[in-house]
Chain A
Amino acid sequence: MASWISFLFFAGLAVGCALISLFHRSVVHSAFALLGTLMGVAGLYLMLGADYLAVTQVLIYAGGILVLILFGLMLTPGDPTELRLARVLGGIALIGGGGALFLFKMSGASRWHAAPPDQLAPPDPTVTRIGLELLRQDRFLLPFELASVILLAALVGSVFIARRRVQRDGGAA
């Protein structure tokens, strides 16, 4: 019962805020509504026992990417005259199409072997297990290290693109 209420709360938060961010006229409001969606999804992760994933979700998406999105929005002039109908129709098409695709793919994909939450053991903290899995040679060590190399390359590349070329005489070109 408790988990059912929590699920409804988090799922409602995620879906409701997602709808707001799709259909709100102001793009800044849409971005702020995304916060609710991200927190709702984090709550759902938490309920599934994925505490590390939930906290990472909040840190990376809410604390990092959303701030970046807001940052970008505030540096961009808004367009309040945008046609609303187009967005509504586009949103409905996106939701409908995505939902149909999801149901189509998922209906046969999973065996849905779920037990009532009351019969499950309380989930363990996951951070130790994730850490060990990531550093085991026969598990995820190679993808983990590859990801770090790719991220480093992306960092160096972005610095190279963003840097200001300074001439000999000190002026910026």
Chain B
Amino acid sequence: MLTDPVTAAAPAPPQGNLWTDLMHGVFPDGMPWWMVAVLGAAVAFAAVMLFVTVIAMFSIWLERKVAGHIQVRLGPMRVGGWHGWAQSVADGVKLLLKEDVVVTGADRLLFKLAPALVLGTALAMFVALPFAPGLQIADVDLGVFFLISISSITTIGVIMAGWGSNNKWSVYGAMREAAQVASYEIPLGLSLMPPVIYYGSLSLRTATDMQAGWLGLHWYVFDPLHFWIAIPSFVLFFVAALAETKRAPFDLAESESELVAGFHTEYSGIRFSFFFLEEYAAMFVMSAVGAALWFGGWNFPGVTQMPEGALRDFLCVVVFTVKSMLLVFVMMWVRWTLPRIRIDQVMTLGYKYLTPLSLILVFAAAVLEYFLALAPSVLP
């Protein structure tokens, strides 16, 4: 069940500390429900926004360093001193201070609405991510399904941006994006099916909990009976996720050699930075789904066994974030290694290879699960 802010209010804090006394003094009858709802939503939004901003700034810096080193140069080295760590901060300040240009012929409403819609969907996806046992905004029962459906709305934002810009390159970019994302949603969804069949649940939380065995190393990719399905399905998922997040080699929506910058050609300043934030947020979310379903989520030897508490939650967040960032790093590695492919190759890959392969994997996973259910006592 998706969260109703009232029922999902925070559990009662421990009795008798300064905070509870203060709250009791201010609200003798307990906090009014609307305040709980508003505060809960505000805290969740602020936390996600802060997290996304930090992750995006770090990723942009990392992307430049990775690009630099892959191309045998150093990348940013000066801003801030150590290896140009403050480059993203400087860029962020620059983007905030730049003039917010709305082109004369643009459809003002759509032009302004598009970045908000795109970023909003990216933030909404963070709702379902299981960062730690005590740190998940909502344990959405439909976890994976919810994430896919939300991410499909991003396409509409991109089309809105392309159309609203009133620029033919932008429209071309938006059209490519729409065609590509609509095509790759099929293999993306299907490649998520093998783990879902394995866990018997769509919830990312359940998936993570089920990988806690073997001192926290019983990840889906390591399971002796399932790894031969897990590894190919992860590869398919990863390729489809690259296409969904418009990352190279699938970044035809903004291929700079043909379309200037695709759907965000006309954007500047803060609205442009929204698109950038969305790209990195979406990369992180896709990687986090991969980490949660295939690579054990927050489980790691030493962290899984710890007693519950704030320290464990913190370490879980660290483990989960590091795993996701490693996958983000692989996305960057791919981007700076492979050339961009043509649009017909994109379509061929999606429909002629990824979709049939993922269907075969779904079938294999279902058959395997059926026979394992027949003989539960024989096998480990």
Q: Which residues of A contact B (CB under 8 A)?
A: 1-3, 6, 28-29, 32, 35, 46, 49, 51-52, 54-56, 58-59, 62-64, 66-68, 70-71, 74, 122-125, 127
Contact = CB atoms under 8 A, between A and B. Distances in A.
Contacts of B160: 32
B23 interface: no
Interface of B: 1-2, 4-7, 33-34, 37, 109-110, 141-142, 145-146, 148-150, 152-153, 155-156, 159-160, 163, 171, 174-175, 178-179, 181-182, 185, 202
A49 to B, nearest CB: 7
A74 B153 contact: no
A62 B156 contact: yes
B141 A74 contact: no
B145 A59 contact: yes
A123 B110 contact: no
Contacts of A54: 2
Contacts of A2: 4-6, 33-34, 37
Which 4 pairs, one residue from A and one from B, show the smallest C-beta to C-beta distance?
A63-B152, A59-B149, A125-B141, A58-B149
A51 B149 contact: no
19 contacts: A32-B156, A49-B1, A51-B1, A51-B141, A52-B145, A58-B149, A59-B149, A59-B152, A62-B156, A67-B155, A67-B178, A68-B182, A71-B182, A74-B163, A74-B171, A74-B174, A122-B1, A122-B4, A124-B1
A51 B145 CA distance: 11
A166 to B, nearest CB: 15
B2 A52 contact: no
Contacts of B150: 58
Contact of B179 (A6, A49, A71, A127): A71
Given A35-B156, A127-B141, A122 B7 contact: yes
Nearest to B36: A2
A51 B140 CA distance: 9
Contacts of B110: 28-29, 32
Contact of A127 (B152, B178, B202): B202
| Most chain A CB inside 10 Å of its own CB: which residue of B149, B178, B181 | B149
Given A74-B175, A123-B1, A125-B1, A55 B159 contact: no
Contacts of B146: 55
B142 A127 contact: yes
A125 B153 contact: no
Q: Looking at B34, B148, B152, which has the most chain A CB atoms within 10 Å of its CB?
A: B152
Nearest to B160: A32
A52 B142 contact: yes
B152 A64 contact: yes
Nearest to A43: B2
Contacts of B5: 2
A6 to B, nearest CB: 8
Contacts of B159: 67, 70-71, 74
Contacts of A62: 149, 152-153, 156
Contacts of A28: 110, 163
